[in-house]
Amino acid sequence: MDFEAWEGYYRQILSEFGFQQEEDERSAKVLAKLLLEKGLASSDDLRILIHKKDVMVVGGASNLNLDFQEDTSTDVVIAADGATSALLARGIVPDIIVTDLDGTIEDQVLANRRRSIVLIHAHGDNIPQITAWTPKFEGKVMGTVQCRPHGILHNFGGFTDGDRGVFLAHHFGANSIQLMGFDFEDVGEKPNCDRKTKLRKLAWAKKLISILGVPVKSQFPK
């Protein structure tokens, strides 16, 4: 999804949550400056990985079930932030990690060192995390934003880590997209989590995934 198609949803999100576009843009500038020293992944890298492939996007639901069934076929695994840790614990290195840096970032740095392409996302209230963690990634990275992208930054659409992973797969022409570990009704027991706000974000994630109009298979936690 290009920004012109995404902008209307972005405006609604700003209004509903009281976010400030200026803060998103400030965070974006911080990330862009830090990425100048990194090995950047290109859109072609992502297209080669995703185009016409079967993609699984793994969310970080609190009761995440990662028992891949024999009939579960996937070429590419995209991890949403904290799902990276659950995947690594099972010996699975995700191909791509979509993160705003609020999971166990040490695991994401490790996966990046092993081969995962990490899409680091800037928004108005994660500048401290961007500043602290971006320099630690040693492999290929890409910067994403929810405001209008400029320069080396990208916006493929989406709001939360999970639905941004789905938008990414859709943008680069995945053959199919399967969801695993998505739960739009339960925020789990995250520390310092505003439950009501998180549930509103999950409602947006569900809404945004539904508007893509692509056949998305779902495997929810058991």
181-199 pLDDT, tens digit each: 888 887 665 556 677 888 9
Tell me if 184 sits within 8 A of 205, measured CB to CB. yes
E strand or H helix at 29: helix 21-35
Q: What pTM was estimated for this model as a whole?
A: 0.92
Pick from 51-65, 90-104, 187-201 the range whose average pLDDT is largest: 90-104
Is the pLDDT assigned to residue 221 strictly greater than 60?
no
* pLDDT over 90 percentage in the chain: 72
- What number is the average pLDDT over the span 75-100? 94
First to last CA, the chain: 31
Total domain count for the chain? 1
Structural domain that includes position 127 = 3-64+73-219
Query: Could you give the angle at the alpha carbon of 204 between the alpha carbons of 194 and 30, nearest 5°?
Result: 70
Q: Which residues contact 168 (CB under 8 A, 6 or more apart)?
A: 46, 50, 78, 96, 98, 119, 156, 158
Span of 114-123, 140-149, 182-191 with lowest mean pLDDT = 182-191
pLDDT at 114: 96
Report pLDDT for 63.
Answer: 59
